[in-house]
């Protein structure tokens, strides 16, 4: 069995296979160099595992599904900022440049994602209806009046931006099979992080999420605790960060440990937070 002939034939079908497999090719070379019956018996299993890793993301969640999910989030954010910018007297002159930049970015994200979905052979989802009062379509939720209350507007904006950053991070593994889309998604992810930092500056809170030992939410709005679930984690890569020494020689505080890392949110987690609360149709 010539393993590399198989790989070469697969590359004829998928020109990007080499990018998907490296450096796994080297691992297969090591397996085949053993020259033992055990190693040879392991080759089919190794090849199957290698291809599963190369294509697994595409098999489980399609690129179009991820893009439409991202488009739904961008619809929410663009609609929120468009409505805020159009609300007379809401945005003070000192903050108008920030808010208008964020608004324009979100509108560009919507336009880009629609184009990317169409180019990928899919159909962009239509914009759902939004109730930014968090009233599930009643308009009488806990955030009623946010478009006349600048501080409340910023706190809801922050929850949306922080959630967006975590949502994009959560979908990155599902885009590993498409370098162009992954690069674009990570570019949007970076901009969403800058938006969050800008809103945090306007709100006068820490530019990064700073959690306690039990609550990841630092907005001061308990209604969005779920949007920050998991941000209170202090373990990364199996290491409890609070056991590590800090720059001052003491152990690392929970606040520092949680601020140093950002946690992803899955699609199911995000939709559970938004659908029926901010998204109702």
What kind of fold does domain 63-207+264-274 have according to CATH? Ferritin (1.20.1260)
Closest CA to 107 of 77, 131, 68: 77
Query: Tens digits of per-residue pLDDT, 53-94?
Result: 444 444 346 999 999 999 999 999 999 999 999 999 999 999
Both tokens of 99, joined, read 């808010």
Confidence of residue 249 (pLDDT cuts 50, 70, 90): confident
Which segments of 229-266 does DSSP mark as H helices, in order?
254-259
Both tokens of 177, joined, read 């099979």
Determine the pLDDT at residue 22: 53
User: Do 256 and 250 touch, CB atoms closer than 8 A?
Assistant: no
What is the SS3 string spanning 12-38? HHCCCHHHHHCCHHHHHHHHHCCCCHH
Query: Tens digits of per-residue pLDDT, 184-235?
Result: 999 999 999 999 999 999 999 988 898 888 888 988 899 999 999 999 999 9
pLDDT of 268 over the 80 cut: yes
Query: Tens digits of per-residue pLDDT, 7-34?
Result: 455 455 555 555 554 544 444 444 344 4
User: Do 84 and 90 touch, CB atoms closer than 8 A?
Assistant: yes
pLDDT of 177 over the 90 cut: no
In the chain, CATH 1.20.1260.10 covers: 63-207+264-274
DSSP structure string for 66-77: HHHHHHHHHHHH
Query: Tens digits of per-residue pLDDT, 149-176?
Result: 999 999 999 999 999 999 999 999 999 9
Determine the pLDDT at residue 266: 96
Give the SS3 label for residue 192.
Answer: helix
Give yes or no for a cis peptide into 229 (omega within 30° of 0).
no
Task: Say which residues have a Cβ less than 8 Å from residue 16's Cβ, sequence separation at least 6.
Answer: 179
């Amino acid at each position: 069995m010539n393993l590399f002939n198989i790989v070469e034939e697969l590359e004829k079908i998928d020109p990007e296979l080499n990018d998907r497999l490296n450096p796994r090719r080297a691992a297969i070379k090591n397996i085949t160099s053993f020259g033992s019956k055990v190693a040879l018996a392991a080759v089919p299993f190794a090849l199957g595992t290698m291809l599963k890793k190369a294509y697994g993301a595409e098999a489980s969640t399609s690129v179009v599904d991820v893009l439409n999910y991202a488009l739904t989030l961008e619809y929410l954010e663009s609609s929120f900022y468009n409505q805020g910018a159009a609300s007379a007297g809401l945005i003070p002159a000192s903050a108008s440049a920030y808010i208008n930049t964020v608004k324009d970015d979100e509108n560009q994200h919507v336009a880009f994602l629609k184009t990317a979905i169409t180019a990928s052979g899919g159909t962009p989802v239509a914009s759902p209806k939004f109730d930014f009062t968090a009233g599930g379509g009643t308009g009488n939720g806990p955030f009623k009046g946010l478009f006349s209350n600048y501080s409340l507007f910023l706190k809801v904006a922050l929850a949306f931006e922080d959630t967006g950053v975590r949502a994009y991070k959560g979908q990155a593994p599902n885009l590993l099979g498409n370098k162009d889309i992954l690069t674009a998604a990570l570019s949007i992810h970076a901009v969403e992080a800058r938006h969050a930092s800008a809103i945090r500056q306007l709100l006068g809170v820490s530019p990064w999420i700073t959690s306690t030992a039990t609550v990841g939410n630092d907005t001061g709005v308990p209604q969005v605790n779920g949007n920050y679930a998991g941000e209170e984690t202090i373990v990364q890569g199996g290491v409890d960060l609070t056991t590590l020494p800090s720059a001052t020689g003491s152990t690392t505080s929970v606040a520092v440990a949680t601020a140093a890392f950002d946690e992803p949110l899955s699609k199911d987690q995000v939709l559970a937070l938004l659908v029926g609360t901010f998204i109702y149709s």
